[in-house]
Each structure stands twice: as structure tokens, then as C-alpha cells.
């Protein structure tokens, strides 16, 4: 997919990677807002610098078990870090372990020491390590010996690597804003974490992109009230080549989202009235302040967030549909009520 208008975000993250490590950075935003695409662009643009990127995209794996986590993060090698041969287009690395190292019978401290060894090796070579984990929350149900939560212990390690020793940047990407909320409220990460939102594209950026892609003025004027995410532009271009008008494409998208919301309601009939009540709050505007929401409704809002109908901007306190298309799907559904 073509890279669209994220220069500000790329510039921020490139600069961040070159500063002294001092905190864990959580990059968050609505699903498909371009978080991973931006991060991969940063890695590509810095591939000839002195930065060594350890990059793990947990979306490509089923929710891992303890054993699968170990196989994802480590590679059998005599070196303490090794090029990840499964990332064909990226110069990114994995942590190395000895070829005879029985990783499955090691403690969590042994595992963390191997991560530490790899990072120290990068620094000895006069380079700067950056550890990036995409969709980190997929590790939250993994427990090691003694019932230790892998994720909680990883956070302690990350604080040590960043805030305490300033050895390595740790960047975590996620669209799970309830996970971000948990982190933000965590005393373990107080004063040890930062948050960066990659949100919808602006209307001005969308207009500029569509004009560059050869869309006519009337098409742009129609689209601007519906588009908000980069992948939508790519799909719109492809569908136009296939003979679909922008109106047909957008109408299809809205119908899909409307039916998806109906499906969520039918699977949660005990909360049907509350769901409709919450969705009605978006009838006239795509945004709602968290402070304006009744406390007793927030449990149902979480249900809608978990089903990727709503997005919660933890740092700005804004609740909104995951996209403008989602918003129009909500409004179409409300017409049926």
C-alpha cells in the first residue's frame, strides 16, 4: 500500500529513536490508522544509521503460548543478536541464543538476561538498540514459573532499560485503547512512559492525496465527509479501477459496518438498550468527551471498544467511532430504530 501523508509522525519517531532512551513509548490509535506502516517507514529510513532495530509484529502470530513467545523472540545463533531472516524487506533483528541453549527450561530471569546480553552487545559495537513490539497486549495471558505475568515482568525490564539505565528505546504499538488505559493508570509505569497518538488523516491531507491520485473535484467533495483512514484511500483507488464509483464503494463500506454493529448487538442482547443509548450520543457528532458520559455506561462502552466500534483516546479523553465510515454506519443503524 502506498504511504500517505504521515511526515509529521515519521519525523517525530525518527527523532525519538535518535534521542537518549528515557521512557517506554506507546504508539496508539484507531485500528488501521497507520501505526505499523509509519513505524516500518521509520525503520526503513534509518536502516543505514547506527540504530539496530529489534522488531516483533505479534499480529502475524496466533496469540502465543509461553513456548511460542520464546520462539518468536529468539533465534538459535552463536551471536547475541541476529538478522531476522523472516522480514525480507526490513533490516531488523532478533535476540540470539546458543545453539545448544535449552530455552524452554529456563527461568524468566534467564530469558531477560538473554535480551539484556543482546542489547549490551549492540552498545559495545557503538550502535543504538531500539526494541519495537507491535500489539504487545497479545502477551498479557502468558505466565512463567511461579505464576509470574510475562507482560508485567516485561514492563519492569523495559523501565530498567529505558528510565533507569538509558540503554535501549522500547516502543510498543497498539490499537487496544483499554490496554493503554490500564498502562496509563499503572503505578509501575508512572513517570516512565510516554504516549503518541496516530489518528485519522486530516481532511486537508485527504483532499491533497485524492487530488494527486487524479480524483475529480466532485468525487473529492463527496469523499471528504466519509474518509479518515489511509487504507480507505487505497481501496477507493483500486475500486475505481475496477469500475465502481466512489459513491458505490462508500455505500458498501457503510452497509458492512452497519451490519457488523447489528451483529454485535444481537450477540449482546442483555445490553441492547444501553448500546443503542450510547450510539445515540453520536447521532449529531462523531466525538464525545469521556467526562460527558455517565459512569454506569462505561462498561458497555468498553464492550463497543473491544469490538472496535468505538475508540477511546486515553490522553485527550475523546471517545469516537473507529472511523468516519463507522460513524456513518452508526447513524444508518439508528435510522432503523
pLDDT tens per residue, range 214-273: 999 999 999 999 999 999 999 999 999 999 999 999 999 999 999 999 999 999 999 999
Confidence category of residue 199, pLDDT binned at 50, 70, 90: very high
Confidence category of residue 314, pLDDT binned at 50, 70, 90: confident
Whether residue 1 is contained in a domain is answered as no
**314 and 254 part of one domain:** yes
Distance CA 58, CA 197 (A): 20
CB 15 within 8 A of CB 45: no
**156 and 275 part of one domain:** no
**C-alpha grid cell for residue 6?**
504521515
CB 313 within 8 A of CB 197: yes
Distance CA 207, CA 209 (A): 6
Residue of 6, 28, 22 whose CA lies nearest to 172: 28
Query: Among 197, 220, 242, which residue terminates a domain?
Result: 197
**137 and 38 part of one domain:** yes
CB 230 within 8 A of CB 200: no
Please give the share of the chain, as a percent, with pLDDT higher than 90. Answer: 76
**CB within 8 Å of 266: residues ≥ 6 apart:** none
Inform me whether the pLDDT recorded for 1 exceeds 60: no
- Answer left, alpha or beta for residue 258, where phi above 0 means left and psi between -120 and 50 means alpha: alpha
**132 and 21 part of one domain:** yes
In this structure, what CATH number is given to the domain that contains residue 211? 1.10.10.10
**100 and 152 part of one domain:** yes
- Strand intervals (E) in the chain: 24-28, 51-57, 74-76, 81-83, 93-97, 128-134, 143-144, 148-149, 169-174, 193-197, 288-289, 310-313, 318-321
Query: Among 164, 179, 197, which residue terminates a domain?
Result: 197
Residue 86 burial (C-beta neighbours within 10 Å; 0-12, 13-18, 19+): exposed
Domain hosting residue 298, numbered range: 203-335
**222 and 174 part of one domain:** no
Inform me whether the pLDDT recorded for 157 exceeds 60: yes
**153 and 67 part of one domain:** yes
**C-alpha grid cell for residue 70?**
520464546
Q: Find cell 527523532 and name the residue.
A: 15
**210 and 193 part of one domain:** no
Confidence category of residue 100, pLDDT binned at 50, 70, 90: confident
- pLDDT tens track for 104-142: 778 889 999 999 999 999 999 999 999 999 999 999 888
- Domain total in the chain: 2
- pLDDT tens track for 175-192: 998 888 888 777 778 889
Amino acid at each position: 500500500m502506498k504511504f500517505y501523508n504521515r511526515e509529521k509522525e515519521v519525523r517525530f519517531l525518527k527523532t525519538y529513536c535518535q534521542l537518549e532512551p528515557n521512557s517506554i513509548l506507546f504508539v496508539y490509535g484507531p485500528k488501521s490508522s497507520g501505526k505499523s506502516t509509519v513505524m516500518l517507514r521509520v525503520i526503513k529510513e534509518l536502516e543505514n544509521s547506527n540504530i539496530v532495530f529489534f522488531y516483533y509484529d505479534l499480529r502475524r502470530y496466533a496469540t502465543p503460548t509461553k513456548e511460542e513467545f520464546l520462539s518468536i523472540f529468539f533465534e538459535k545463533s552463536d551471536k547475541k543478536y541476529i538478522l531476522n531472516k523472516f522480514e525480507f524487506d526490513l533490516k531488523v533483528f532478533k535476540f540470539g541464543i546458543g545453539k545448544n541453549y535449552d530455552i524452554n527450561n529456563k527461568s524468566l530471569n534467564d530469558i531477560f538476561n538473554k535480551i539484556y546480553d543482546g542489547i549490551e552487545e549492540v552498545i559495545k559495537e557503538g550502535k543504538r538498540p531500539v526494541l519495537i513490539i507491535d500489539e504487545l497486549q497479545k502477551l498479557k495471558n502468558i505466565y512463567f514459573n511461579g505464576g509470574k505475568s510475562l507482560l508485567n515482568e516485561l514492563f519492569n525490564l523495559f523501565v530498567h532499560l529505558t528510565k533507569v539505565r538509558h540503554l535501549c528505546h522500547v516502543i510498543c504499538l497498539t490499537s487496544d485503547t483499554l490496554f493503554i488505559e490500564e498502562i496509563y493508570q499503572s503505578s509501575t509505569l508512572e513517570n516512565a512512559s510516554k504516549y503518541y497518538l496516530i489518528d485519522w488523516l486530516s481532511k486537508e491531507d485527504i483532499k491533497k492525496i485524492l487530488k494527486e491520485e487524479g480524483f475529480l473535484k466532485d468525487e473529492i467533495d463527496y469523499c471528504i465527509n466519509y474518509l479518515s483512514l489511509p487504507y480507505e484511500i487505497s481501496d477507493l483507488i483500486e475500486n475505481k479501477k475496477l469500475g465502481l464509483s466512489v459513491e458505490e464503494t462508500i455505500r458498501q463500506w457503510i452497509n458492512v459496518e452497519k451490519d457488523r454493529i447489528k451483529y454485535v448487538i444481537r450477540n449482546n442482547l442483555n445490553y441492547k438498550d444501553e448500546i443503542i443509548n450510547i450510539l445515540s450520543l453520536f447521532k449529531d457528532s462523531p466525538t464525545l468527551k469521556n467526562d460527558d458520559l455517565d459512569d454506569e455506561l462505561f462498561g458497555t462502552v468498553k464492550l463497543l471498544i473491544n469490538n472496535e466500534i468505538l475508540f477511546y483516546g486515553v490522553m485527550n479523553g475523546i471517545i469516537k467511532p473507529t472511523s468516519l465510515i463507522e460513524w456513518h454506519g452508526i447513524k444508518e443503524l439508528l435510522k432503523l430504530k
